Structure 1
Amino acid sequence: MASSFLGTLYNLTDMAWIGLLGSKAVAGVGVGGMFTWLSQGLASMARMGGQVQVAQCIGRGDRKKAHAYAQTAIQLSTFMGLLYAAVSLLFTNQLVGFFHLTDPEAWTAAISYTKIACGLIVFSFLTLTMTGIYTAQGDSKTPFLANLVGLVLNMILDPVLILGPGPFPKFGVAGAAIATVTAQFVVMSVMILGVIKQKKDNVLKKTRLIAKMHFEHVAGICKIGIPTALQGMAYCAISMILTRMVSAFGAEAIATQRVGGQIESVSWNTADGFASALNAFIGQNYGAGKMDRVKKGYRASLFTVGIWGLLITMLFVFAPNTIASLFFHEPKAIATAVGYLVIVGFSEAFMCVELTTIGALSGLGKTHLCSVISILFTSARIPLAIVLGQSTLGLDGIWWAVSLTSIAKGIIFVFTFFWITKEKPA
């Protein structure tokens, strides 16, 4: 959870400094950030597939097979990261053009951010996959320390590269992308050093990028990981369509959606970190046949993240002006952000519960079921946003479409987990 919270601080640090450049720059980064978000969905294939398979192999006591799955996950992650970077660089104009940005400043910012952040996305792919494999072994301390080093570096580089104080050149939006990519490279390097330095048996030891991949391991990772990847990428694609709808309300609306999503990451990124830990816990105990511990672990997690989500709800609903003023400095942008925070605030606890339950079900190998439920209800945001957005609610109608579907997913996922575990024998 702490590691994921550091990831939240990464994003908030970027947004806070970029906010000083104006809402148009924030809108440009918001569009560019959509493509880095899309990449995370693709990266989750190797991460989730590797994490679940490694955890279940360790639960069964088969460390040799756990190593084979870990190596294959790293190889797949490297290949997909490089492929995504190549596509992003070749088709940058076409990708950004999808959002119909009419403001030249926002367009330039989006192009600049996308080329740098996506062109070197392979560091992010490897960081995510190694974090998953570390977690599968019960070691979340090393990823936390690596992310802490990256965060400190990012916080130092952001003001220097974005604003260019004193003798330093001012890179603006490009500086934010450079700072983020540099931090990701450092995080990845620290985790690699962790594998080398650790004396205990880490399944990542003796991993080779240039080695034959066995069909059994690739298929095992894809079986678990592909539904998760499709779910993540579909979620992002739906958000892209919503962003295009939001763009009709101006640059402030796009900026609000981007920054609002980063502010929300205080809840969803923390819940995602809890879900990752729960995924490893359930994967290992399910592999060992201990269904009683699976159920107890889930109930304890559900209570914990539910309380956290309620705290975030109270913060968003009762103190939206204070939060919005940290990232926006124009009255119109602040007013738009306040409306967003209040509306999505009602769904924060449900979103936390949803993410935690997805981690639990994935630990049982039920990624297909998670994908079906998530894609079905997230897709409902589009027609709902069209109807509500064209009503008297206007822009607020789009925010309500997001909030209401999150509430529905949270409730359905909880009932699904209890139904699945009721059917499974110990």
Structure 2
Amino acid sequence: MKPIVKYFDVKAKEPVEETYLTRALKTTIPLVLVETISSLYSLADTYFVSGLGEEALAGVGVAGYILWLYTVVFALFQVPLMILVSQSIGAGLKEKAQGIIGEVCVKGGFTILIVTATYYVASPLFLTIQSGLSGTAYDNALTYLIIRVAGLPVFYFSMCFDTAIIATARTKITLLVNTLGLTANIILDPLLIYGYLGFPKLGIAGAAYATVISSAFTIPLQLYYLGKMGLRPAIDSGNGFFRKVISLGAPAFLERLVFSLGNNVYAGVISRISPRVMAAHNIGLRIESLIYMPGFAFATTASTLVGQKIGEGKIEDARKVGFETIKLGALAMGLLGLVVAFGGRILVTPFSPDEEIAALAATYLLIAGLSELGLGLSMVVGGAIRGAGNTKIPFLVNTASLYLFRVAPSIILSRPLGVIGPWLAMFIDVYARGLILLVVYRRMFHKLAVKHV
């Protein structure tokens, strides 16, 4: 296998040659741990909130789906930030990368402030329409949601700085920073939820506050490391790259918006079956995130390495390193999926208030675990195509598959099959997306690749 060259490393005094597989592994392994850590944020909330009962669990689960919808606006800036910074690094244009980071932080941050205010006002009505919850479950969901919405600017800036670090392939730094953030969250959760050590007993609100505070804790650390790499954001950039940011980000934003809307319809179908079913679904989803969050790591690696090679002008090398990452990611997710599928009953027990919820959550994990190979393909191939500079193809494929193979069938199948119907629709959807995107990548990569810097 031909070597590739690592051009950006502040510790390296000269280029370092590595195989495609080695490069992919060295970049991905820290990111797998980072994404696992990210999933542990939600899992920690689920674990500590489980002591408050099934209605609290259902509330956090519904709020989580709405937050996924709310944060789709981040994609308008995150995806182009990854593409443009990684291509700038590949081309050796560090000052241009600084300017891009600065523009995205300032102009994107202003947009997020406006969006946050809108979300805050609209959340009670949207929660009512989306979930069908009432009583204590509704109150829990709204409490958790409102606090997390108020913290969206914090999450946005942390996301921007983290993305800029990852685009350099210095993924050990993001691993360190996110580990410290998770540690803060795990410490704060029991203190703020149950009022230990003299802290106020805030219940479900404490879980939300813990997540916001721990995310804010990471921002100074991220800025410190960006400064060490010579990539501190240049506020007065003059690069004029924001129009390019929007043109690249719009398809990614629309993809996640339409995708999240579809997933909220899907979640609404499940929550309307019963709060107990939603609680079980939430437990299974949180545990599954230990697998699909690492899938984001492989997708991010594919975007980063493909983007750097496109920046160098080496299209065929970009295709090869992307395909190595695709194979690695799909295999890893498929194997982990088998573990979760057949070990689900053991995994759900610590999070389940009773036996019925545990049995339902284990059934979810069986179906979801067997679907992880398809999910891995869809995530990593999509990341590689975006890194090549094309955000339209993943948008078209992912959204079409979601509505044709998941949303519509879940509505139809939920009546005769109960919650098993939506879960089977999910299984079909992820394999359809993965296989379609893989065919597109293998046959059309050279036509899709675009250098933007």
TM-score range, shorter chain: over 0.9
**What is the Cα deviation at residue 292 of structure 1?**
3.1
Q: How does 1:371-382 map to 2 (within 5 A)?
A: 371-380=395-404, 381-382=406-407
CA distance in 2, matches of 1:153, 1:43: 24
Equivalent of 1:115 in 140, 146, 150? 146
Letter in 2 for 1:155: I
**What is the Cα deviation at residue 257 of structure 1?**
2.8
Q: How does 1:33-44 map to 2 (within 5 A)?
A: 33-44=64-75
Equivalent of 2:374 in 316, 327, 350? 350
Question: Conserved in 1, the CA contact under 8 Å of 2:388 and 2:448?
Answer: no
Question: Conserved in 1, the CA contact under 8 Å of 2:397 and 2:433?
Answer: yes
Letter in 2 for 1:388: L
Question: Conserved in 1, the CA contact under 8 Å of 2:284 and 2:362?
Answer: no
CA distance in 1, matches of 2:138, 2:448: 52
Q: 1:201 aligns to what SS in structure 2?
A: coil
Q: How does 1:401-416 map to 2 (within 5 A)?
A: 401-416=425-440
Alignment of 1:49 onto 2:73: no
Distance change in 2, residues 1:257/1:81 (3 Å)? farther
Question: Conserved in 1, the CA contact under 8 Å of 2:131 and 2:272?
Answer: no
Equivalent of 1:388 in 413, 418, 424? 413
Question: Conserved in 2, the CA contact under 8 Å of 1:298 and 1:360?
Answer: yes
**What is the Cα deviation at residue 36 of structure 1?**
2.0
Partner of 1:165: 196
Q: How does 1:163-242 map to 2 (within 5 A)?
A: 163-165=194-196, 167-196=198-227, 198=228, 200-202=229-231, 204-205=232-233, 207-208=234-235, 211=236, 216-242=240-266
Partner of 1:90: 121
CA distance in 1, matches of 2:72, 2:130: 20
Equivalent of 2:45 in 14, 29, 45? 14
Alignment of 1:257 onto 2:288: no
Q: 1:260 aligns to what SS in structure 2?
A: helix
Letter in 1 for 2:163: G
Tell me the TM-score normalized by structure 1. 0.93
Tell me the TM-score normalized by structure 2. 0.88
Q: How does 1:285-300 map to 2 (within 5 A)?
A: 285-300=309-324
CA distance in 1, matches of 2:238, 2:283: 40
CA distance in 2, matches of 1:424, 1:245: 37
Q: 1:390 aligns to what SS in structure 2?
A: helix
Q: 1:171 aligns to what SS in structure 2?
A: coil
User: How many residues align structurally?
Assistant: 418
Partner of 1:363: 387
Distance change in 2, residues 1:247/1:56 (3 Å)? same
Question: Conserved in 1, the CA contact under 8 Å of 2:83 and 2:307?
Answer: yes
Select between 295-304 and 154-163 the one with higher mean Cα deviation.
Answer: 295-304
Equivalent of 1:332 in 356, 360, 363? 356
**What is the Cα deviation at residue 30 of structure 1?**
1.4
Question: Conserved in 1, the CA contact under 8 Å of 2:70 and 2:119?
Answer: no
Q: 1:61 aligns to what SS in structure 2?
A: coil
**What is the Cα deviation at residue 258 of structure 1?**
2.6
Q: 2:130 aligns to what SS in structure 1?
A: coil
**What is the Cα deviation at residue 71 of structure 1?**
1.2
Letter in 2 for 1:33: G
**What is the Cα deviation at residue 311 of structure 1?**
2.0
Letter in 2 for 1:156: I
Question: Conserved in 2, the CA contact under 8 Å of 1:27 and 1:258?
Answer: yes
**What is the Cα deviation at residue 318 of structure 1?**
1.0
Question: Conserved in 1, the CA contact under 8 Å of 2:337 and 2:372?
Answer: yes
Q: State, as a whole percentage, how many aligned pairs show the same letter.
A: 23
Deviation digits for residues 206-248 of structure 1 (CA, Å, limit 9, x no counterpart): x32xx5876x411111121111111112221111111211122
Distance change in 2, residues 1:100/1:284 (3 Å)? closer
Distance change in 2, residues 1:102/1:128 (3 Å)? closer
Q: What runs of 5+ residues in structure 1 fail to find an aligned partner?
A: none
Letter in 2 for 1:201: G
CA distance in 2, matches of 1:103, 1:260: 23
Report the aligned-residue RMSD.
1.9
Letter in 2 for 1:28: G
Alignment of 1:151 onto 2:175: no
Question: Conserved in 1, the CA contact under 8 Å of 2:410 and 2:425?
Answer: yes
**What is the Cα deviation at residue 291 of structure 1?**
2.4
